[in-house]
Amino acid sequence: MSLNAHVEELKRKHQTLSDRVEDLQRAPSTSDAEIAELKKQKLKIKEQISRIEASAPAG
């Protein structure tokens, strides 16, 4: 998998998690712990994307 493809896959995962968090926040029966866990996952993916983009040569 190329670096760009990997970054795009991470971005898709991040967006999927973001959509899931939004849906769960609208559901009254969702626990705060579940939402917090998804937000942690989102943050980890965002950090991975940032590290990859920062280390990639400009071009």
Residue type, 6: H
Confidence band, pLDDT 50/70/90 cuts, at residue 57:
confident
User: What value does the mean pLDDT take over residues 13-26?
Assistant: 97
pTM for this predicted structure: 0.85
Distance CA 41, CA 2 (A): 23
pLDDT of residue 58: 67
Query: What is the distance between the alpha carbons of residues 1 and 43, in angstroms, rounded to a whole number?
Result: 22
Residue 29's SS3 state is: coil
C-beta separation of 56 from 3 below 8 A: yes
Task: Decide if 48 contacts 38 (C-beta within 8 A).
Answer: no
